[in-house]
Amino acid sequence: MALSDCRLIDLPEVKNRRGNLTFVEGMRHIPLDIKRAFFIHNVPDGGSRGGACAQAT
């Protein structure tokens, strides 16, 4: 793949006062064979996220 074949992909973002969540699912948002990945960002100083991460899906 050449660099000229690359492009930016807009990903979904769920905004929350505790921080924002961006997620990506394979073959839906990106052309890769993955289940899903989550990115937590813009968490306020002293805040925490991920308290429910041990739940089964």
E-state strands within 1-57: 13-14, 20-25, 36-41
Q: For residues 38 and 53, give the distance between their C-alpha atoms in angstroms, rounded to a whole number.
A: 11
Q: Which sign does the torsion angle of CA 5, 6, 8, 10 carry?
A: positive
Q: How far apart are CA 5 and CA 40, in angstroms?
A: 28
Q: What is the pLDDT of residue 57?
A: 58
Q: What is the pLDDT of residues 29-48, one digit of tens each?
A: 988 899 999 998 998 888 87
Q: Is the pLDDT of residue 10 over 70?
A: yes
**Dist. CA 49–CA 41, nearest whole Å:** 10
Residue whose tokens read 């997620």: 23
Q: Is the pLDDT of residue 21 over 70?
A: yes
